[in-house]
A and B are shown apart, each in its own frame.
Chain A
């Protein structure tokens, strides 16, 4: 799936990964997380080859924040967050006072200590996402990975989530997340990694990297970039004239490729 990927990211940055569905974003994340291990090339975390690390060792360096998901069983929010401390427990140990304190601290950091005793399955989707981030904080890794965290959230929760992630990056975490929304990249990201057909299309500072031409090449849609007056904030909107026959044709071919299994 991935052919030529090479990039470098450092702590204290919010890195957004852009790319079409199937471009290889999730595959990349699965490699970093050690869920896929037989890849060529190497991933180094703090100079250590990730492939050489055991599941446990890797879980102390990289944590994964899934999309807010339904759990089959109803755990309390505190229990959910304490699962982040599992990697620091002895083989047959249950979490104790120390882990409880770590979990409560993580909830404080995410500003949701009041949710502590609620049932995870009964809080809102946005709150669930914050709890899952708190769980990653309790895991005490420098690197946080999120696969399309905004995809199930309403607009308000999307913005709240992105702000929280930005804040974490400021505190010194490396936050790597994939997104389908260039707006979020312009508003919040420090750096952007663009993947197209398994190859790094572009990587670097958002303003210089993310151009009209690049977005069109990646998504097949013509867009216009604008800068808000008086600020350096950029935003993009689809080109009106192009909402058209040609675009529909592209879509048509794309769907056909998908259904023929390519």
Chain B
């Protein structure tokens, strides 16, 4: 409807339904191409990524009993960023860059997980500390790659990629990241109540009959899958996983049975809305990550101040 190639709502509806029922063609072939290979994938991917990141963030916030945690806490984003930067530096193809980002995201969290197993006295603390360490290691790696990258071609590519955008989403991305993200969301949704119990703390949850090791491992694995898959196709889009769960809590309360689905819906809508602005505010696309930060950071500040006011 909006943007550089306007398609009216009537035509859009006709185009969408033409794949299901027979409608006489009243539009340009070009319009159909724009809808099906550019705009529809972008909208669908935006919704799935936004919802997925919000779920992942909410899940992490639950199992770490810390509302200030975001999906990149265990280094998934930083790992994926390094993977993507490496792929771009080596001038790999588009597909290979995504795969490399995804693989390094998983690798980073796996490392974090293995290190944390050595910290026996406090598993959660071990995870967070190892996450910070691996995360900064990956950032250092990215900085180094930027330093040695070709200033004319690969450096801008890496820089833009790091800012996060849905502009380059194509159908193939939806079929690559979509199923992975959905597969990660399913266990989180199934274990909504168990996450509630886990927020009571590890030992208490165990005395309530929850196999905390299993549940925590599955939840971390799922949330990591979501984050790595999202970052691998869209780049770093910050704040969604941190802020949207809080937004959901403000509306429906803290109970994960209601809050998690609410966060998923809000995350999806938020992402689609912000992406529209990213597309149209300026003549050039503004990277989505910049916009989410502009919205997310002030909102987060507001939350902190509100929280501080309640404590007194």
Contacts and interface: CB of A to CB of B under 8 A. Distances in A.
B209 A60 contact: yes
Contact of A35 (B62, B200, B203, B257): B203
B184 to A, nearest CB: 16
B261 to A, nearest CB: 12
B192 interface: yes
B191 interface: yes
Interface residues of A, number: 30
Interface in A214-241: none
Contact of B193 (A59, A60, A84, A86): A86
B66 interface: yes
B223 to A, nearest CB: 17
Interface string B63-95: 001110000000000000000000000000000
B110 interface: no
A139 interface: yes
A73 B193 contact: no
A16 to B, nearest CB: 20
A79 B200 CA distance: 12
B150 interface: no
Contacts, number: 73
Contacts of B240: none
A92 B190 contact: yes
Contacts of A30: 203
Contact of B65 (A56, A59, A72, A74): A72
Given A73-B254, A83-B200, A59 B209 contact: yes
A56 B194 CA distance: 13
A86 B253 contact: no
B254 A75 contact: yes
A84 B212 CA distance: 15
Interface in A55-86: 55-56, 58-60, 62-64, 66, 71-76, 79, 83-84, 86
A66 B193 contact: no
A72 B253 contact: no
Given A89-B193, A94-B193, A94-B257, A71 B199 contact: yes
Given A79-B196, A94-B192, A95-B193, A34 B206 contact: yes
Nearest to B206: A55
B196 A62 contact: no
11 contacts: A30-B203, A33-B203, A64-B207, A66-B204, A74-B253, A74-B254, A86-B194, A86-B209, A87-B208, A94-B257, A139-B209
A-B pairs, 3 with minimum CB distance: A87-B209, A59-B209, A73-B254
Interface of B: 62, 65-67, 190-194, 196-197, 199-200, 203-204, 206-212, 249, 253-255, 257
Given A33-B207, A74-B253, A92-B190, 17 more contacts: A33-B206, A35-B203, A55-B212, A56-B211, A58-B209, A62-B207, A72-B65, A72-B67, A73-B62, A73-B67, A86-B193, A86-B208, A86-B210, A87-B210, A89-B193, A93-B193, A95-B193
